[in-house]
Amino acid sequence: MTDKTDQPPVVDFESRRRERLHLVHDARLEKMRGEFEKAFPLPGKPATKTVRSAKKKKKPRKS
C-alpha cells in the first residue's frame, strides 16, 4: 500500500517576496507615469479624456 502523508506545500518565500516587490514597483511606476502624463501631456493628445458624443450618420436619400 502507498503511505500518503498530508504535508503542507512548501512555500518559496524568496520567490513570493520577489513577486510582491514586483507588484509594488509596478504600482509605483504606473502612478509616476500617470503623474508625468498630467504634468507633460504629449502633443496631439487631449490633456483630459473627453467623452465624444455619438454622431448620427446621415442616410443617403433614395432617388
Q: Each residue of 37-56: pLDDT tens digit?
A: 999 988 875 555 555 666 66
In 3D, which of 19, 39, 47 has the Cα closest to residue 31?
A: 39
Q: Each residue of 1-21: pLDDT tens digit?
A: 566 778 888 889 999 999 999
Domain residue limits, the chain: 14-43
In sign, the C-alpha dihedral spanning 33, 38, 42, 48 is positive
Q: Sort residue 44 into left (φ over 0), alpha (ψ -120 to 50) or beta.
A: left
Cα–Cα dist 38/33, whole Å: 9
